[in-house]
Amino acid sequence: MSIFKLTINFEEADHESIVLPIAAGESVLDVCLDNGIDLQHNCGGVCGCSTCHVYVTKGMDNIEEISDKEEDFIDRAVRPRITSRLGCQCLVINGDIEVTIPDQSGFMGH
Ligand code: FES
């Protein structure tokens, strides 16, 4: 099985970037949860919410294409950008990727 590199950056200032292995067919959410990274996932990773929102800053061509349903949820995410994806739908196909996890502290209510 092919293993690629997932670089995760955080908008929150006190979080250091991290590089983790990701296998073909795995999602960004899967890798986050396996490694204790607190990416929200209210619907359980089935493209039914927008809480796993991330920005894909490198390797957009290396992940599964966005679906219409995913686009609809991204429209409802906080501060969506052109690089926005849902972490549970970012399945790696072939190659390294880099994402930024938005700062959710302002609206998740810790
Ligand atoms: S966890 Fe709900 S859409 Fe990704």
33 Cβ below 6 A of ligand 1: no
Query: Which pLDDT value is given to residue 110?
Result: 38
Among 26, 28, 46, 69, which is best to mutate for testing ligand 1, by the most ligand atoms less than 8 A from CB?
A: 46
Q: What share of the chain in percent tops pLDDT 90?
A: 87
- Domains of the chain, residue spans: 7-25+34-101
pTM strictly above 0.75: yes
- pLDDT, one tens digit per residue, over 82-100 is 999 999 999 999 999 999 9
| Dist. CA 77–CA 2, nearest whole Å | 31
Using CA atoms, how far residue 6 sits from 36, 56, 77, 79, 97, in Å, is 15, 11, 22, 23, 5
Which fold is adopted by the domain 7-25+34-101? Answer: Ubiquitin-like (UB roll) (3.10.20)
Mean of the per-residue pLDDT values of the chain:
94
In this structure, what are the phi and psi dihedrals at residue 51, rounded to the nearest 5 degrees?
-80, -15
